[in-house]
Amino acid sequence: MYRVGPRRSYRGHKPGATFEAFLDPNAERRARDRGDIQLLRRTTPVIQPGSYLLPSGWLNSKEEVQDNA
Amino acid sequence: MPKRIALTDGFEIDGVDFSDGQIRSVEFTSEDAQVDASGFNSTGTDEPLAGTRARSVTLEVFIKRDANETFQTLYPLHKNRSTFDFEWVADQNSGVSATNPALRGSVILPTWTNGATRGDVEVATLTFLSQGDDGLEFHAT
């Protein structure tokens, strides 16, 4: 998550706004060096256990494959 | 579409908005090399083929040396041989669409020239070259 500096919009985000994005590391470094943006925190996308559903029948098909192996 | 007077063009270079008086002209060029594949024939006509394609965009940029302004943003991109994003839209007050497409892509800035003439406003003419698979192209979204 980033905050845009006070002077100039950055990638369509107004000065002072916060935004979430995955920036190219070199582009991020240049923007931070210039003071265009400030890194607030770095987030890593994860899938929490129980926060997703498997496709219908997916578990049964996996068990069949294991049985055949 | 009606004819337009160019007044409200918008620019973003390496993510930074330069749509507030920093640029006064833009010229996009897309050119294919003409490869001569002509052979003798009864009418003597030529047969040129379209060869490699080169794309570039040339801007006249007012040199401003304040923090976050043109010199401090653009010169390091040349100095460090960076590849960076470029975008131009004809109307910065409208969203990108088929009638207001964005010229967008990765570019490099291989040449830097700027100077000054007594009594004249300081302007640099900079040519950005399209770079790689994600080079300059018009997009409707």
Contact A8 B16 (CB under 8 A): yes
Residue B100 pLDDT greater than 60, yes or no? yes
| pLDDT, tens digit, 9 for 90 and up, residues B40-77 | 999 999 999 999 999 999 999 999 999 889 999 999 99
**ipTM of the predicted structure?**
0.79
Chain B residues touching A8 at Cβ < 8 A: 16-17, 68
Residue of B nearest to A29 (CA): B14
Q: What is the mean pLDDT of chain B?
A: 96
Chain A residues touching B79 at Cβ < 8 A: none
- Residue B71: exposure state from Cβ atoms within 10 A (0-12, 13-18, ≥19): middle
- In angstroms, the separation between the Cα of residue B66 and the nearest Cα of chain A is 11
Residue of B nearest to A11 (CA): B15
Q: What is the mean pLDDT of chain A?
A: 85
Residue ranges in chain A modelled with pLDDT below 70 = 61-69
Contact B76 A30 (CB under 8 A): yes
- The whole-number pLDDT of residue B62 equals 97
| pLDDT, tens digit, 9 for 90 and up, residues B86-96 | 999 999 999 99
- The whole-number pLDDT of residue B59 equals 98
- CB environment A7-39: b (16+ within 10 A), e (fewer): bbbbbebeeeeeeeeebeeebbebbeebebbee
Residue B28 pLDDT greater than 70, yes or no? yes
Amino acid at B60: E
pTM confidence score:
0.83
- The whole-number pLDDT of residue A8 equals 87
Q: Which of A5, A12, A30 sits opposite B14 (nearest CB)?
A: A30
Q: Which of B68, B84, B85 sits opposite A5 (nearest CB)?
A: B68
> Longest C-alpha distance within chain A, in Å?
64
Residue B4 pLDDT greater than 60, yes or no? yes
- The whole-number pLDDT of residue A57 equals 80
- In angstroms, the separation between the Cα of residue A38 and the nearest Cα of chain B is 13
